Structure 1
Amino acid sequence: MNILISNDDGIMAPGISILKSFLEKDHNVFVVAPDVERSATGHAITVRNPLWAKDVMVNNKLFGKAVNGTPADCVKLGLEAIHKDINIDLVISGINRGPNLGTDVLYSGTVSAAIEGAMNGYPSIAVSSADFTNPNYETAAKIILDIIEKFDFKTVPEFTTLNINVPSISYDEIKGIKITRQSKRRYDDYFEARKDPFGNTYYWMLGNVVEDDNNNNSDYLAVNENYVSITPLTVFLTKKDYMKELKDILEVKYES
């Protein structure tokens, strides 16, 4: 397959390097990734500044293109400009350092890069090693190879991406794969006010993870139980089951 890969940790991050090394044994791999870390940028795109794509060489060999933009920029630029003459079969974003579970997907540059692929009509996946401190990228890469070998990505519905979170343990310890839903996992945030050397106030965001969604299909529960979590995500956010109630209360026609 022809595979475009990106991330939000930056083109020199170990996760994308390891992913590329595993994939390129059997596939054609094209890297377009941010020049520096762009974590938690969500689905931002650059519209008022130019984008540069510069060659990155590793051991005198082209590794990929580094872009001075967001993860979504990278995928958009890769598909629509840099590699527009290549028939890309799959877009992969990752391997991310740390999980993308619950409400993380709204902030995540990793997930947004994959969703950008889906918006452009390409099968796509986001993959994360679910540990910030000690991510096991090799296990996540092996899981991706397993999935690619057994799954036909042409069957993925339009405008859909697969959000994959892999426990940061050895491959032999993985219990299996579970298809999960996006959980209500979220953050109880607060801001700590501090003073700079000139007496000006600045704020540092801190917080704790809230995991109180104990449904068996929750993404974080699967990961906590050493299963790979795969959650299908769509680009559309309409809450369809609430539409009828709103129609009954709010839908009216104004007389001209």
Structure 2
Amino acid sequence: MSKVITYRIITFLFIAFSISGCLPDPLPVNDVPVAQKTVVVGSQNLPDQFLVVSLTENFGALDAGPDSDLEEILNDVLITGIDVNVEVNNEEYPLNNNGFGLYIGNDVPEITGATYTLNFISPFNQLPVTASTQLPEFIGFDSLNVYVNETPFDTLISVDMRIQDPPQKNWYMINVQTFNEDFDIQERPYVELLEDSEFNGTTYNHQFVTPFQDYVTGDTVLVSMANITEEYYNFLEIRKDNRFSLLDGLGEPVNYPSNVENGIGFFHVHQSDIRLFILVE
């Protein structure tokens, strides 16, 4: 798969994760004020990239419905063609714009404990947009197994993992996502969150089943884990609890935590342990 197609898929994931499966039928309303344009910041790891930042604009609850075309929405909300930088240890690194609203840090170093500061000028009001976060230490899987879990209604997978948790406080994000030749951009990745209050400094076994998914034999399943900051963990926990709420990300409600000044969303960096599995009978 070419990098252009891959980046297009990743961009779709940023949008689809936020709006797919949670858009209600439109309601007749009048005289609703237009939402002020605001930058929405997201960030992600790719298998070959430490840092990828997505920049989109917010939109109102009346701007999309169950019959909305995701590609049309994507083209409308992407923010492209601006200068975006990340500062680490007093060195500034420009991010490369791939044309799909993603800004990629090809040469941004991975320095555990360092502060990473994102900065650019908002195209809407010309105010500086900034966000800072720290890079937690890398913690990988001690062991990981994925099993097919068939039910009378669908085929799920069970994840059986073990962590060797360090003594300090840690927060974990585990992502489960399928990648097929016929990739369905509306399929939401499953996110499992763990904090180590009950197993701090010990070897911990954890099992979970991915809900709301339907797998088939031959699916390639990507399972990744990252040690993340407490602030980002809290953001993900609220977003997960509200995963059926309208516009969970692009049109984030004001009570969502955010570390972005003059914008919304969340900027974070982490180091992922990524494993691939092919499902067999």
TM-score band w.r.t. shorter chain: under 0.3
Q: Give the TM-score taking structure 2 as reference length.
A: 0.26
Q: Of Structure 1 and Structure 2, which has the larger fraction of its residues in strand?
A: 2
Q: Give the TM-score taking structure 1 as reference length.
A: 0.28
